[in-house]
Structure 1
Amino acid sequence: MAATLHEMVREAARLHSGRTAVMFDSGSDSDSGGSSVTYEELLSSGNELTACLRKHGVVNSHILGLFCQPNINLPQWILGILQLPSAYLPLNPEASPAQTLRIVNLCNLSFCLVQCDLLQQFQANYSSSLTLEISAEWPEQNLALVRMQSMISSTTEKALLKTGCEQVQTGHKNESHSSASETTSQMRLAYVLHTSGTTGLPKIVKVPHQCIVPNIQHLRFLFQITPSDTVFLASPLTFDPSVVEMFLALSAGAQLLIVHTVIKRMPSRLARVLFNFHRTTVLQATPTLLRRFGRHVLQEVVLSPDSSLRVLALGGEVCPSPAILRSWRQEGNHTLIFNLYGTTEVSCWATYHRIPESVLTSDHTTTDSVPLGAPLDGTEVEVRDKKGCLVTEGEGQLFIGGRERVCLLDGEVTVTPGMMRASGDWVLVKDGQLYYLGRKDRLVKRHGQQVHLDTVQQVVESLAEVETCAVDLCEGSRLVAFIVPYLGTTASRNIHHRDQASEHADLRGDSVLLPMNRHGISPNASALLFADLQRKIQRRLSHVLSSNCIPDTVLLVPSLPLTTHGKVAMNELKMEYERQRQNTGIQQENLTLDNLQEILAKLWKETLGLAEDVRIQPDSHFLLSGGDSLQALRFHQNINIATGTNSAGLLEVILDGSYSDIWNHITMATIFTEAGLDPQVPSKRKHEGSSSSVLPKKQIHAPPSTTAPETLVEGVLHFNSMLMGYVVRRAGEIIKLGYSDNTVCSDNLKAEQATRSKSFQVEGHKTTEDFNSNPSSTVSERTISKTRSTFTIKCVKDILPSSNDASLQEGGTDMARRGLSLRVLWSSDTGRCVDASPVLLVEHGSSHTATVFVGSHSHRMQALELTSGAVRWERVLGDRLESSAAISVCGKLVVVGCYDGQVYFLRVDSGETWWTFKTGDAVKSCPTVDYVTGLIIIGSHDGHIYALDSLAKKCMWKQNGLGGAIFSSPCLHPPLQLLYAATLHGRLLCLNSVSGVPIWTYSRDVPFFSSPQCSNSCVFIGSVDGSINGFNHKGAMLWQFATSGPVFSSPCVTSSNPRVVCGSHDGCVYCLNCTDGSLVWKFQTTGKVFSTPFVFESPRGQGTLVALASTDGTVWVLNAEDGTVCASASLSGELFSSPVVWEHMLVIGCRNDYVYCLDLNSKEDSFRL
């Protein structure tokens, strides 16, 4: 059996001397049928060239450069070089001179064969860097021999080569299977190539005959190549599959078809040349090259029922999915399709897989990927993990080698037989098969999750609207899909029509200026068609890809530019993306309010995949319109790009605000910035009773008593001396501190007296009596029990305010009968919006003081005297405060989360820092105190729940929320030691409150902003899908109540009866039966209800009441029995903060930057503030 490439050709030539060996088609109409060479002529011309080379001093072991274009003489030139024997080094005439010079120097090239037609170009490119001497010219061969010598000292280059060689040899010692080695002189080289250099400088690869010959012999057997076959030379000489294509044909007596380089760039003409003129039977190509034909030509010509193509071998890139391959074939086609895999470093192919006919004809395949298949003869493959251990199931990097399948890289002069080379490709081992995942450098982390770019590309290509595509990261993190639309679309036909016009221009050699950018998109083409197609593709992708895999940008192009190796020229596509970005930058200079509105609407619709004619309502919420957190991030990035700004807080507005909020935010960040105004300060009215406007945001200064956030208190807090009093928090929670019974009261001191005389069963927690009746339940000093007032609720007709006066809404005669009103006692300016809910600490004892703790977006944390609003202390923390505070079990610390990712533990009496704990992202969740263990439990946008011990100053445990940031606040059920938390990825988790171990999880497709609240038997939560839900403590859903809008409000659980009260963005407050979720009553407000209701006992003897706020600035007090209005008042700003009530005082934060204390009194008048 022949041991070298040229020996295989000589054997075939002896058997088939009269048959056509080579056919060349220039594509010219005058060159009908092309020119051809028989095997006898091929052998004769090759022998002639070998003799000429020897005559001019080119002897054994030289590497000869070959500077030429594909033509009829190419095989005889290669044969003549191999017979010296020497190796050939193809040099690409279209490559940059600098790259070619580097290759020449690295290979120490002394001679180069130059096609006579290209001699002048060769001299012009390299005469300034190389000493060139034309040693001989052979017109009959159309070839010249050029002697070369570098003009630049090669000392440095040689030193580098030597160093590289030593490093490689040292590194290979650990990978060898044998101590034996072979030198270059022992290994007869066939050819020398260089890698593409896409991930660094190109590597030189020297390929011996013993490495490539088994490849060709095995593939010739698999493809059943016979003398009647026609094999197309699809690959350029610099790409090693060209060796396989050439010698598959010439070693079997078959015909090798070569076409002019220009024809390869013209898909339609190439298809005619291959399948109409020459009836090609064997085609080896990259998937990208094949996709250039387009789906129509593939179905009607290449893979039609009567196609001449017998074998299609795809390699060099990830193989298209079975679904895509099926879309290329017409029913009745019998072409055998192979998936080939290999690397240039172990030239050429390593594995093969013949795709079964059943896979190509069935729509019900079990996989979306085609396996890499089995190793070719003489090849060994193995998969190793990052530690170098063999992988038999799972992911790892593929290594390739074999005893004789070894090449020399760069400066290597010695090689170890059996060496295994790292491929740089990641694969999945599953059920004994290898599945390609992607290049190591194409496995990226995006939004904290691993993304396989090649897998994303396959999914995009599977869409009916997509002909082909390329996917890559631009600007480091933006995922961009460059898509060639399917020819069946009108927009695509417009693009491709112009692209075909440019094909004819290439053939004539003329320069045709078309009204389009360099990729063929005409400014006069219908922008609506393109925009509609882009939106349709984005919408489809949102259904088939996970959020972290959806491209940030879809860019339509008429075709994918190719490298000389037939792969996607990604650098060219990225340049096009940059040009688009620059065009956007130019547009930013002419930004106005009008076109800013157009831009925002366009980006909103594109991100959400909405139709162009969809009308966006000002109160539309991004998440409720079908978006998710990752789409919000994409929307945020696109706005920044379009406006040329990087507006702080924009992402939070997108997640939490309405469309109008987003519009206001970016308007301030762009237009007002250009006018020299503070983009973060909305224009506002003066506060009533104040002689000046609210302080501008950037003029906020900490008072003298403020300490820096990082300052920690020296000394020790005396936790053994517990404060006695009450903590009042949102959702009607009142915690009694420092008393022997440690109860949580329903409302306030007066309500406490009333509830003690009543007989009721506690709903939400066991009473002290419940614990005493159960010997196994022990109540420590920190044990807490909750009690609620008893009241009867009847279902009556909803009562709506009859007055159109927004300043005061009264419930007709019913309100007059009750005689309640709200008026402002005091207000405190925090400097920016107050979305956090206040927390009250009422201390008993000689002072009997009550303090309001509340944070603001101004970074301020204020401690205010409840009765007067006087500032006890104020701290400026590290970032914005949206989290409501909590009071530690000892009553000595106030705990609050911050946008800077810190959880601050501040002293109640002075505001000094006791401790800070750093999480991985912003903290918007409100802390919850476990009064049994003393732990502070809080969620973070980093996706974790933390249990913090303020005394020990350490984290006792943390638990991952199983994906998604945690916005809502945790909820405790102390008797059962259960902790509930919800995430923005739609998960409701139940954990063990002591250990943090998950007990059960409930998942939904929409995020949870609402905080869970629990009773003795149930846990309740609202969802942005518009529902209020009840679960038992084992995780089973008991009921679901549908509102007409998303639910951001958190439920407030009442005690006896029992009831749950919750608001909705439909503007209603709902009172539901806890047992079955049935509606007891509902009340329609004049805005939306984001905040949490507060159920309390009236200090004026009017029974049980519900305090709530609507986003239009209205504070409402309702009768808890029937939902009728008792009082209301309007504040001059939006309300997202939840009210808290103590005695006759209601405290709430407002987005006009103030904290208000309202007096609930018996007067029948009311006020507009």
Structure 2
Amino acid sequence: MAEKIEEKFHCCISHEFFRAASKNPNKVAVIHAYGGARIFRELREKMDESGFYHDQSDDFIAGRRVSSYPPVYEGDECFTFSEILDAVDDLSSRLRHILDGGDDPNLIRPKDYVHQEDTKDGKTWELSGKVNLIENPARIQNVNSSTKIFGICMVPSVEYIITVFSVLRCGEAFLPLDPSWPKDRLLSIISSSKVALIISSGSSHYTCNHHHLNLSNWLVDQNYCSVLNISMKANLKGKFGQCNLGWPCECRTMKTFCYLIYTSGSTGKPKGVCGTEQGLLNRFLWMQELFPLLGGEVLLFKTSVSFIDHIQEFLSAILTSTPLVLPPFEEFKANPYYIVDFLKAYCISRLTAVPSLMRSILPAMHGPSVIQVQRSLKLLILSGEVLSISLWDMLQKLFPDTNILNLYGSTEVSGDCTYFDCKKLPTILETEELNSVPIGVPIPNCDVALVQELNASREGEIYVSGHCMSMGYLLNSTFMTSDHVELPQNSILIGPSIKNPGTQLYFKTGDIARQLPTGDLVFLGRRDRIVKINGQRVALEEIENTLRDHPDVVDAAVIHHKFQGEIGYLVAYLVSNRTDEFFKLLISSVRSWLTRKLPPVMIPQHYLCIDSLPISSTGKIDYAILEGSEFLGQEILNDTDDSESVRCLKQTIKQAFCEALMVEKVMDNDDFFMMGGNSITAAQVAHTLGIDMRLLYVFPSPSKLQYVIVERERLYKDDMSISHDWEENSKAQKHSFLQSFDSSISGPSISKSPERPLQVLSGHNDSSVSSKYLKVDSLNSSILSEKRCSWISNLDVSTACSFSRCNMVMPEGEYEVKDQCQASWSVEIPRNGKGYLHELWRVHLESCVDASPLVVIHGGHMYLFIGSHSHIFVCVDAMSGSVQWKVKLEGRVECSAVIVGDFTQIAVGCYKGKIYFLDFMTGNFSWIFQTGGEVKSQPVVDKRRNLIWCGSHDHNIYALDYKNHCCIFKISCGGSVFGSPSIDMVRDMLYVASTSGRLTAISVKALPFSTMWLKELGTPVFGSLSVSCRSGNGAQTSHDMLLG
């Protein structure tokens, strides 16, 4: 490429790359972030140590930085644009040399390889990699029908980027092959596409211990094709010589396609989508015009190569001379929470993610660590899944200065064909009631039409054409374009058309949408049975066909069940020729069968055996019945296993597996990943057990993981053993005691509800799917029936209120409770009655707990808030024991928390003198107020004035405005404030006592607040104050103060 080239305007990706790399030869192009990852591990270890706080983390990270722009840390590996340009020159020449029949020292050929020369089709070997075209002749003119396909089996790495540019430089097509795919699926795709060569990498960036496949051996041994092993360190240093290849855009015949990506097909077989260079360039140039990259930003390459979005992740950086950070892929994949570390430390400017990933990492987006991310992150691109209004609302509050784009598309349309700028959403929501964020309008050079349904106003199926459209599908080396049709008459064009609609073909997406008055489209659903899971398209028919191939499965049906419109999971219904007693063995066998043939995202979480599948009047499977809650309820299995009699570490691990995989039961030697586990569910298990996630990859079964935890950490050994004899003796009393407990509940706030069946799936299911958040440290988070937990089932949770120390009750929306006794309930047990305490769930707080919990009922749910000496503060679902969010404060928590008057924030103090205001739903820090001493006093809510009153060991009491986040008043109390103050709402007085023995009365009727009187009690006061009300009338009501 050293020769002078003629400047061409966006003619091909190869020219774009050459121009960008030549202008900035010495600039860092790619950073393998090994050093950053190691620093994060060390930092997490230090964060667990006593005396190391969040505000020290910035100094710790900065001390390891060796470059400010782009951010580079000790141990990182950097590659400049000139190095990548030289490597592309070298590999391009080698690939062309191999295609012409030449040899290479790093090429491994099959044993029976025979090179055939001068055949009719040109020079080739036993798998030619040539594609046959069956297309509309009017659409294919002057194209190259013998495009060679190169399989690239690598994780995101500098070698992967170099290989893609090298294949494009040769004028051929690349096929991304995800090394984590099952072997059967890899071989099937390689065979179907007839790849000419597979390129693999020995890069240390790939460190997976679970899915690592030795391609050089087993692919070649099975005579599939030749394999070329490359490495930036070993053999991509320009040794081959100068590149003398012609430019792809200057060829007389236009190449048919430049990449092949396999997706799940509605026919039941994976289909290869043949994408074009025109589509990739159009998508790149549009984004560069809308949100230009000027070279001063830093981007992140973290998406799997099986997902089309990964192409734009590295193209947008390399073609604009922008540094690109690559986390160690397997470590990042194992724990998605690490993305927050990389966003912060490397000052990432632009992030592309699926909504489910953003939702999963929200618990880690809190505290001081998110401030740097808020500064640097300029653009958040969400695609691949429906973006809910609730998630958008959380994200825009978390990143108020970040532009959020919602993109829509598929692999068939180069990834994206419409876009919506979320800045417009607040205006739209003023007049429209939406559940999801609109998918917007077409990007330039893309035609989008809405083919209307009968009697449907501006609602119909989305058709797409233009530069973004792929060439078609590849199946057994043959093109198919059955989804490319002419535009019907009853269609609405969304935006201006780039051509006459009657002269071009359109791709039928199968997606149904509605057009808003603003012109934006809103996604409504699918016409077929294709769903999106973690951003990846899944055809349910493909899973069903794979299940039917199992020797013990007669028939099968798979549905995608959504819970509360947010959480989706796969349920498989099996008709088997085996008897019921072999059900569990069958499920284990079926799971193993699927994991060998399908990617993890396509493995169902639930399996149900039924006698026959319901049939509709047309003779087809009636999926509506399978998806109905009544049918699911009928299929509940009453499985009373030993979960209540065995309380040990292994059972805890099994329960964590069940929660993450959403299955009913896990055996001692079941492999977590063979059962369908992936990186997100593995992160959940690690979070639940409080272990390093890498242990799960090395020891993936409950028995192995139990052994290593006991031997290496001895975690939970004493806390989780309960006598088996005691459990057996108490079982006989359990049922009668709970019945008497249920009948004894009384009070106006308790509403008796009729018996109702559990709304859970049968067979292998975990009801923990009801939570929108990860289940952390919960020993038993299954849904509790009325008989197991009658106090919960009979408690009226329709009214929002909170319960705290001393049975204090605060309802939402009122200034005070006129009679606190009305809001409480009691249980009367006869003096000679016997019972026992039954553990419903347990959450590990890592250290001792001094404070009382705060219980909040809101939105039909009950939450418990509690902190400990480990600095941890958590929000727990009080019904299931699942942790909704967890934060780590800068000091140990020794006081109870309160919820503010509008139920939006939780206020709690810590030993470092800080009072935290945490978002009620997410745990994000809304405000932090610093006092001059330890905070051991529970704050008190003054709803009338929107204040929180809280004392400190600096001898002051503070009035904090929780809406405007400011301190409006403080006064010295003469000593440390241990107990909570008390407010007399009738007289507008606040009383506070201190360890000096002083009692202070403050008038809070109007600002400025003032001291009304002082009283020296002569003895320290450590307890909280209480103002009691006795019945009276009007102003004659008397008030007594109780001191402790």
Class of the TM-score when normalised by the shorter of the 2 chains: 0.3 to 0.5
Which of the pair is proportionally richer in strand? 1
Instruction: Return the TM-score normalized by structure 2.
Output: 0.41
Larger radius of gyration: 1
Instruction: Return the TM-score normalized by structure 1.
Output: 0.37
